[in-house]
Amino acid sequence: MGSGSFDIITNGLILLVCLGVVATLYALLAPFLEGDVLKKRMNGIANERDNMRQQRLTDLDNQKGLRSESKGFVKNLVDNLSLEKILAAPDLKDKLSQAGLRGQRPIYLFYMFRLIMPIVLFVFGLLYFVLLNPLDWRMMQSLVAAFALLVLGYYAPGMYVKNKAGKRIASISPVFPDALDLLLICVESGMSIELAFGKVAGEMAENSIELAEEFSLTTAELSYLQSRRQAYENLGRRNNHVGIRAVSTALIQSERYGTPLGATLRTMADENRQMRILAAEKKAAGLPAKLTVPMIVFFLPVLFIVVLTPAGMRMAANLG
């Protein structure tokens, strides 16, 4: 093995060690840097009604012909460069809502990062792979790597939003059937659907902050929107999950046709509980296949070493 190959392997190992140290420090310090997540999110939901009222007043002003001045560097950048048309993303608002990012600010930030990140990563690729070239690649290989970073920078914001939405729905799904049971109990005890959603939001805050946030927002929409159907549709749109969408559709049908809300919630709770059990069984069934590669890579070599090392030592002693 040449010195060049040895240097490449050494640099790769150093890079992996540095990444491991950074990841370990982040895992240890992240809980202290986040602060009280529940308090922050519930404070944000507490102001949701005021935001809806202000949005309603803004809509009325716009209907009267009034215009407000645009504020913020990010918004001005996106509007002046027409990034919403150039870097258009389908159903961006719904995807951001599914990730827990609501309002206009995340939309403008998404377009800004979609513009800036490809440029930054492409310049970094040119400096690292073309000018420094620590891997001794040819010019064509270095340019391909730089363009690959450019493409990665373009799709990175979408990947981040999708990953955040997946983590969010993974936090909501396990506790959603229990929330439906609580919602059923509240409705059958005589509460209105608005009070029931608000009560369940407070009870589920310790188990899932995201679900409590969703129910609190639904409570605000049921109080201020003209139609309950719109609030139920928004609940299903903000959560890309089969069970939540089915519950949203059932609530809309119950509101439209006057079917008993208790029976609807009881049926939906049973179905979501069955879905949770099926999901757990699916993960359990796929576990042996997932363990095959780790066993081959990590367990079998160690087992061979433990079994064959004594025999090898005896053979070496007899031959010596």
Residue 240 has pLDDT above 90, yes or no: no
Residue 126 has pLDDT above 70, yes or no: yes
Give the start-to-end residue ranges of the domains of the chain.
Answer: 174-278
Counting residues of the chain whose pLDDT is more than 90, the rounded percentage is 8
d(CA 19, CA 219): 44
Show the tokens assigned to 186.
């509240």
Q: Are 231 and 210 in contact (CB under 8 A)?
A: no
Cα distances from 112 to residues 78, 126, 139, 200, in angstroms, run 7, 22, 31, 37
Q: What is the pLDDT of residue 120?
A: 92
pLDDT tens per residue, range 196-239: 998 998 888 888 888 888 898 898 888 888 888 888 998 888 88
Helical spans, DSSP H, in the chain: 3-34, 37-46, 48-63, 73-81, 83-86, 92-98, 105-125, 139-172, 176-188, 193-203, 209-224, 228-238, 242-257, 261-294, 300-319
Average pLDDT of span 168-172: 89
- Which region among 67-71, 148-152, 182-186, 298-302 has the lowest average model confidence (pLDDT)? 67-71
Q: What is the pTM of this model?
A: 0.66
Q: What is the pLDDT of residue 294?
A: 84
Q: What is the number of alpha carbons within 13 Å of residue 211 lying toward its C-beta?
A: 27
Residue 66: band (very low, low, confident or very high) from pLDDT cuts 50, 70, 90: very low
Question: Residue 74, exposed/middle/buried by CB under 10 A (0-12, 13-18, 19+)?
Answer: middle
Residue 64: band (very low, low, confident or very high) from pLDDT cuts 50, 70, 90: very low
Residue 148: band (very low, low, confident or very high) from pLDDT cuts 50, 70, 90: very high
**More confident call, 16 vs 67:** 16
pLDDT tens per residue, range 9-62: 666 667 776 777 777 777 666 666 555 555 666 566 555 555 655 665 555 445
Main-chain phi, psi angles of 45, to 5 degrees: -70, -30
Q: What is the pLDDT of residue 130?
A: 85
Handedness of CA 54, 57, 62, 65 (dihedral sign): negative
